[in-house]
Amino acid sequence: MDTPPKYSIVLPAYNEASNIAPMTERLMAVCEALDGPFEIIWVNDGSTDQSSALLDDMTDANTRVRALHFSRNFGHMAALCAGLEAAHATHAVVTMDADGQHPPERIPDMVAAWHNGADIVQMVRAEDPRLSAGKRLTSHWFYALFNLLADTNVPQGAADFRLLDRQVVDALNNLPERVRFMRGLVHWVGFEQTQLTFAQDDRIAGNTKYSLWRMITLALNGITSFSVRPLRLAFVLTLLVLAVVAVYSVYVLLAMVTGKYLTPGWASTMFIILLLGAAQLLVIGIASEYLARMYVEQKQRPVYIIRKKPRQEDPPSESH
């Protein structure tokens, strides 16, 4: 492309051969109406179907479509990160799924919210009666637990369907950590954020690639990436156990003094066990606190991020 794109659309894809052409067609129709040039970036996450060949043919035929091919399946989060790092957009990047459940027709609404001053436009799924009760319940539990434990809040139903201002993309790309939970990081970096609700569409074709194990792994990565509270909980539990040990020690002393219900050697044995147990728990509690600090430091996240002055954005075209 001779002119740098104003907008980049990033779509991670794993074995989505049946969805690539229809999604690209819909995106082209929507993005043609935007107020500036655009590019569509497909991130092929080690697909084993015909996705690679289809994407190569598509990029040869259309200079506004680009494709990145992973050497193997590295996962959805890695594909999102690669797409953000490869985006040439001068103004904003949109991330979305490749299966059609994130409707491209909502992109103009996201751009309009961005024009109104939002640096991050987060799309949030509306309540979907088609989802099973188990799926809705586990999703609710995850976001509730994450927001309880983490140092940032993620809206219930937040999807990887969002628009990010260029300065937000740069901030995310500069984060040094390797294991990334993008739904949390996007909200951790701050900036002006707004939310829009969308109705999730059916998949165009194929089946979801998010197995139960992948969802559990995502949840664990999200919680451990943003919270040291489980480590702090170990220290709190240590203090509670020490309190119980102190009370029980008083009981042992009283039993020893009064001579009631004592087996020879019982008092000394209990004191040794309680003393060693309390010492071990105390050491574990202190170690967990230092481990929490090491955990925070090794991620090397910046202490703060400076937001640029409000952008001087060209007004939207009359068609908007």
Same domain (yes/no): 23, 100? yes
102 near 173, Cβ under 8 Å? no
In a domain, 160, yes or no: yes
In a domain, 316, yes or no: no
Nearest Cα to Cα of residue 28 among 73, 61, 77 = 61
Same domain (yes/no): 119, 252? no
In a domain, 21, yes or no: yes
Same domain (yes/no): 243, 144? no
Where is the domain boundary, 210, 226, 242? 226
Rounded CA-CA distance 292/227 in Å is 9
Give the per-residue pLDDT at 80.
86
In a domain, 1, yes or no: no
| 320 residues of the chain, pLDDT tens digit each | 568 889 999 999 888 888 888 889 899 999 888 888 999 999 888 888 888 888 888 888 888 899 888 888 888 888 888 889 888 989 999 998 888 788 889 899 999 999 998 899 988 887 766 665 656 666 666 666 666 666 666 677 677 888 999 989 998 888 877 667 777 788 788 888 888 888 776 666 656 555 555 666 655 665 566 666 666 676 677 777 777 777 777 777 777 677 666 666 666 676 677 667 767 776 776 676 666 666 666 666 654 444 565 555 554 444 44
In a domain, 318, yes or no: no
Residue 215 burial (C-beta neighbours within 10 Å; 0-12, 13-18, 19+): middle
Nearest Cα to Cα of residue 38 among 28, 52, 48 = 28
In a domain, 307, yes or no: no
Number of other residues whose CB lies within 10 A of the CB of residue 176:
9
pTM of the complete model:
0.66
In a domain, 124, yes or no: yes
Same domain (yes/no): 147, 16? yes
Number of folded domains in the chain?
Answer: 2
Domain that holds residue 71: 7-226
| Residue whose pair of structure tokens reads 């993005």 in the numeric block | 31
The vertex-147 CA angle with 143 and 150, nearest 5°, equals: 125
Report residue 99 as tokens.
């299966």
Provide CB contacts within 8 A for 272, sequence distance 6+.
Answer: none
Same domain (yes/no): 171, 233? no
Report residue 107 as tokens.
């992109």
Same domain (yes/no): 221, 234? no
CATH code of 161's domain:
3.90.550.10
Same domain (yes/no): 183, 277? no
Report residue 306 as tokens.
């400076």
Same domain (yes/no): 210, 272? no
Q: How far is CA 94 from the centre of its chain?
A: 15
Same domain (yes/no): 166, 211? yes
Strands 120-125 and 65-69: unpaired
Same domain (yes/no): 260, 153? no
Where is the domain boundary, 226, 261, 278? 226
Same domain (yes/no): 221, 275? no
Q: What are 164's strand-pairing partners?
A: 93, 120
In a domain, 198, yes or no: yes
Same domain (yes/no): 138, 287? no
Report residue 52 as tokens.
């690679």
Where is the domain boundary, 226, 251, 274? 226
